[in-house]
Structure 1
Amino acid sequence: MDNAITGLHHITAISGNAKKNFDFYTKTMGLRFVKKTVNFDDPHTYHFYYGDQTGTPGTILTFFPWQDIMAGRRGTHMATEVGYSVPEGSLDFWLKRLDAANMIYNKPSAKFGEIYLTFLDPDGMKVELTVPEKTDDRVPWETAEVSAANALRGFHHVTLTLEDIQPTADLLVSVFGYQLEKNLANRYRFKAPAGDTANYIDLVEAKGEQRGHVAGGSIHHIAFRMKDDAQQAYYREKIEALGLHATQQLDRKYFRSVYFREPGGVLFELATDTPGFAVDEPVDQLGTHLMLPSQFESQRAEIEQKLIKLD
């Protein structure tokens, strides 16, 4: 079990207006703004990171906010839902809060024996708040309006919608060590037994459904935790042995990444836990400065002028 995957590292999505995205996730949802940086391939576009106090793996939701990007479409061959864990008794709080923010939401329902609330964020991305069967003891980030009694703990699950779940399920089980835990109609829940939190992947089989389109309001990719470079290299080798092309390791400053597309078409990432988000600013100042990749530092004045102001 030393090399076992424990669960999700982060989830990356695409949004439109940067200010609207920032306000919603920091103010309405009460997440910490862990890092303000830019896209490695498009330095005039932000890359936002939201999470807990330090950006612990399993709590990190990131966004590429492209102004005026067309809306995406949920469908097959993509990740379609971000699932957060919330405390027991907190859903009434979230219902009122989402209502006050004019968000689209559904009344709480039950799935796999757990109560959950579904809503759409400002760009239409589907988010679920789930009260887990087992109490989630992760220490949340608190704000003046969102106390620990209600605050998001981090990821509970992510959902992939696929034409045929079997090839993806085979990868999760035979390579990543997940186990099929529950099945409800066309939804299959897989668990990483080595992890206690952020360790569920739901596969929804939607035969004949239209293929999705990744754009605004869509999940771009999901990342799995790698404790170190050695574990990442181990899984990269296993992925390559299946005939799935995996990139070389890429330095993302706060973690090191390997990317590949799983058989169902969803972009997967293997991301190291280290070095973490305090590598370039102290924990008590996370998210308060614009942190640029070193190759863009010489362009700081131009980049700052073109980025949308958040204040």
Structure 2
Amino acid sequence: MTNHRGLHHISVIASDPQDNYDFYVKKLGMRMVKKTVNQDDPTKYHLFYANAEGSPGSSLTFFPWPRARQGNPGSGEATEVSLTVPKDSLDYWQDRLDKQDISHSDPFSRFGKTHISFKDPDGLQLHLVFDYDDELHSWEQSPVSKEHQIQGFWSTTLKLDQIEQTEEILTSVLGFEKTDSENNLTLYETESILGHSLIIEKVDSQAGQNGAGIVHHVAFQSEDKEDLTQMRFEIIRRGLQPTEIIDRHFFKSVYYRTPGGVLFEMATNGPGYFVNADPSEDQADKLELTPWHEPKREQIEAALPPIKT
């Protein structure tokens, strides 16, 4: 394999923003790299958690809807998010999860890697994968020791009843290669350091129900706008109907629904989450708005519940 594309970010529906912040920052030790609003509904937060630099392939983001009903995962959705941590961190994380009263599985092996699984407050299925052995991107203020921190994504799992068309997009457009299989699981990989893997689980289950704890979309890396434009063209060639290129301020992106039902996004790796921010500052203390939302800051802030950091 020679392609370095991979996962860019994964966005999930949540319920209570305070519970969400407490779990991912105070318990799992991830850095809040951006506290902003849903650009399509600025009365709601959009919260970004990642490694210290907010690297592509590290950001797990949430749309907290305080009155969101519990979702029900099923076919046509991404149903698991796997986060990579240093190889020698198993004992540390089992102990930490126990001390944080987070119920978790015993260690198990999947595709030759050691995993433990648990759920977030809204029921999102999370895995820690003890596989990372590259340069650490650790956050100095994290409650988790620097040598054991979550570094980014290992993979996400898509539940599909038909895999062929989605597989073709993964391998022909998004830069993944089918590398392994176990039972009803198929592994696809790139050479990216973070977000390098994706798993498809072949299922016969019914479609899921949207709500808290359900992945909203899975985003994949593109190098720049030119690369994104070409990727969009390739999606159109396959008979799908992607959006126009959308300026999200932190990146430019394109969305489309796959034949299997999963909402995919393709996002540029730049300019990044710190385009108008000092990366040395605590990003959780301020609400960052795009230039087109800034004139309405007073009204937007009045509609948002406070998050105690």
Separation in 2 of the partners of 1:143 and 1:182?
Answer: 38
Task: Compute the displacement of 1:294 (Å).
Answer: 2.5
Counterpart for residue 240 of structure 1: 236
- What is the CA-CA distance between 1:298 and the residue it aligns to? 2.6
CA spacing shift, 1:19–1:161, aligned 2, 3 Å:
same
Matched position secondary structure for 1:278: coil
Equivalent in the alignment of 2:167: 169
Q: State the alpha-carbon separation in 1 of the partners of residues 149 and 88 from structure 2.
A: 11
Query: Which amino acid counterpart does residue 186 of structure 1 have in structure 2?
Result: N
Matches within 5 A, 1:122-137: 122-132=121-131, 135-137=133-135
Partner of 2:18: 19
Q: Is the 8 A contact 1:30 1:142 kept in 2?
A: no
Q: Which of 292, 302, 306 is equivalent to 2:303? A: 306
CA-to-aligned-CA distance 1:236-292 (integer Å, 9 cap, x gap): 000001110010010111000100111111111110111112211111125131111
| Contact 1:85/1:136, CA 8 A, preserved across alignment | no
Indicate how the Cα distance of structure 1 residues 5 and 269 shifts in structure 2: closer, same or farther if over 3 A, else same: farther
Shift of residue 92 of structure 1? Answer: 2.4
**TM-score, reference length from structure 2:** 0.95
TM-score between the two structures when normalised by the length of structure 1: 0.94
| Residues 118-150 of structure 1: per-residue CA shift (max 9 Å, x gap) | 000011000100012x62434222445311221
Runs of at least 5 residues in structure 2 that lack an aligned partner in the other structure: none
1:251 maps onto 2:247 in alignment: yes
Counterpart code for 2:26: K
| Cα deviation code 1:4-41 (max 9, x no counterpart) | 45101111111000011011111101111101110112
In structure 2, what is the equivalent of residue 269 of structure 1?
265
Q: What is residue 184 of structure 1 aligned with on the other side?
A: 182
How many residues end up aligned between the 2 structures? 307
C-alpha distance in 2 between matches for 1:64 and 1:251: 18
Alignment pair present for 1:202 and 2:199: yes
Shift of the 230–103 alpha-carbon distance from structure 1 to 2, 3 Å rule, reads same
Alignment of 1:8-157 (within 5 A): 8-132=7-131, 135-143=133-141, 145-157=143-155
Identity %: 37
Whether the 8 Å CA contact 2:56–2:194 is kept in 1: the answer is: no
189 and 44 in structure 1: CA distance in 2 versus 1, 3 angstrom threshold: same
Unpaired stretches in structure 1, ≥5 consecutive residues = none
RMSD, matched Cα: 1.6
